[in-house]
Chains A and B, each alone.
Chain A
Amino acid sequence: MIWIGDVLVSRGEGGVYNERMLGGARVWDPYRSKLAALYYTGTGREITQEMRVLYLGAANGTTVSHVADCAEVVYAVEFAPRPMQDLLEVARRRRNVVPIMADAACPEQYAPLVEAVDLLYQDVAQPDQAAIVLRNCAFLKTGGDLILMLKTRSVDVRKEPGEVFRDTADALEAGGLEITESVWLAPYHQDHAAIVCRKIRTGGSA
């Protein structure tokens, strides 16, 4: 990750969402992007030039554009038509983004399209986030990394965020993932946790 002073940036064509530029690089705002917030509050995982990334919950392509600045190719999965229109516009300008309109909960819809990836990033705000991860682990190389953004209020508003977090962590470990880091994204995002995992064995079925 590139830091200029204490500001996180990525190098690429600017103007995607009126982001600020700093020394010719695009400022990556932790208040807008949960992934940036992870790099500010924890260590996260270095995204390098040769990495292939599967990005679930691509939304308007804001964070996707930064990830695409760092990685070789980004497979960006989004379901809703309105944000998909914005994502397509981002993908037209960034030739290493593959936009896929499909439901992240049904990987068989896009299985013929997505190669084995080094990093699985998920930010879907669904109640069954852990199950969706485990279903998508088929795309992740053994030894590859997972970054999960857990929106605890979307899983169950009545439960305490900490409890939701523990349930999710247990489900991930049962599915063949080893948790290497977990941080809360406060003060950038409320009740959001980031969980970083490594895939240590295959066959953790959902």
Chain B
Amino acid sequence: MPSYWFGDIEDGRCTPFTGDPPAIAGRVRSIHTDMDAFVPPDWEVAVKCGACKDRGEYLSRLREVCFAAAERGIRDQYAGKDAELLQMVRTLDGMDEAINLLSGRVAEWHQILHPAFSRKYRRTPAHVLVKGISRNGRGALGKVAAQIEELAAARTELAKEVSARANRVMPNTSALIGGLVAARLMSRAGGILPLSRLPASAIQVLGARTALFAHLRTQSPSPKHGIIFQHRRVHNASRQLRGRVARVLAGKLAIAARIDYFRGVAAPEFLESAQASIDAAGKGAGATSAGGSEP
């Protein structure tokens, strides 16, 4: 007794489905078809069934159902997962790049207009300089500087949102390395699923592609860390210990990413033991290697 999108057929009798396209689409999802004894649907059967008048109506109703199903499918695929976070991180990185580029350009321009100005012996950060230019600069220069400031404000806002979103979407990875860096790792891998499939050694050098391939091609030393260097535990560690901290941290991150993908909630007992072993590596004690307490 096959079931088709327009209705159920039982003992040669057909019961049409009723309802709007989304309801029918929902019903189609619940149909289990046995492919071994499968007979494709036939529009003439659908007409006899009373689901439609002719072929034209058969196709137009079928299309409505398929559109409803596809729109729901797209929403489901994007919802609650990493798709939006991915776009947010990449936008953030794009904004950083634009802000740096424009700040440098504006500073050069300002210097041309003020022959007495020099940045030598001053430790003026770029954003302070831009603020001054936007206050005093006339015409286009002042406007561009003001825009950079606005862009920087939007960037700060976005960074907060990225961090908050990452804490929610990937709680374990974020707990170990902070929301922003966790989100960057995810963005570089292409999603939480691809990140969870990476080995720890790949996570360790994610974002150090140039150095990695230079190492593989020539005799140069291997990179110790990529994006994870941005975390204070790595860049605050002494030079001799950085490699070890990065390795242990990457090992724990690989486990955390898998918990994030498969479970989606924080695992306190794992986080506690992971933090402890990363701290131990940073202290230079006879630290354990990555691996250890799989939850």
Contact = CB atoms under 8 A, between A and B. Distances in A.
Interface of A: 73, 81, 84-85, 88, 91, 95-101, 107-108, 111-117, 135, 138-139, 205
Interface in B66-109: 66-67, 69-71, 73-74, 77-78, 83
A112 B33 contact: yes
Contacts of B4: 112-113
B59 A135 contact: no
A113 B63 contact: no
Contact of A101 (B36, B70, B78): B70
A85 B34 CA distance: 30
Given A113-B5, A113-B41, A98 B59 contact: yes
B35 interface: yes
A99 B70 contact: yes
A112 B63 contact: no
5 contacts: A81-B73, A97-B63, A98-B66, A99-B63, A111-B33
Most chain B beta-carbon neighbours within 10 Å: one of A96, A100, A115: A115
B31 interface: yes
Contacts of A98: 59, 62-63, 66
Nearest to A136: B35
Interface of B: 3-5, 28, 31-36, 38, 40-43, 59-60, 62-63, 65-67, 69-71, 73-74, 77-78, 83
Contact of A84 (B3, B41, B62, B73): B73
Contacts of A135: 35
B59 A112 contact: no
Nearest to A87: B70
A115 B40 contact: yes
A110 B65 CA distance: 12
B73 A115 contact: no
Given A84-B74, A99-B70, 15 more contacts: A81-B78, A85-B74, A88-B67, A88-B71, A91-B63, A96-B59, A97-B63, A98-B62, A108-B34, A113-B41, A113-B65, A113-B66, A115-B43, A117-B40, A138-B38
B62 A113 contact: yes
Contacts of A205: 36
Nearest to A96: B59
Contacts of B66: 98-100, 113
Among A108, A139, A205, the most chain B Cβ lie within 10 Å of the Cβ of A108
Contacts, number: 74
Nearest to B83: A81
A112 B28 contact: yes
Contacts of B69: 100-101
A144 to B, nearest CB: 11
A85 B71 CA distance: 8
B35 A111 contact: yes
A149 to B, nearest CB: 23
A80 to B, nearest CB: 8
A107 B33 CA distance: 9
B77 A81 contact: yes
Contacts of A95: 59-60, 63
Nearest to B62: A98
A101 B5 contact: no
B121 to A, nearest CB: 52
B209 to A, nearest CB: 20
Contacts of A108: 32-35
A73 B33 contact: no
Contacts of A101: 69-70, 73-74
A101 B70 CA distance: 5
Nearest to B42: A115
Contacts of B62: 98, 113
Nearest to A114: B40
Nearest to B36: A205
Contacts of A88: 67, 70-71
B41 A115 contact: yes
Interface centre among A97, A98, A101, by most B CB within 10 Å?
A101
Given A88-B67, A98-B66, A99-B70, A73 B59 contact: yes
A112 B70 contact: no
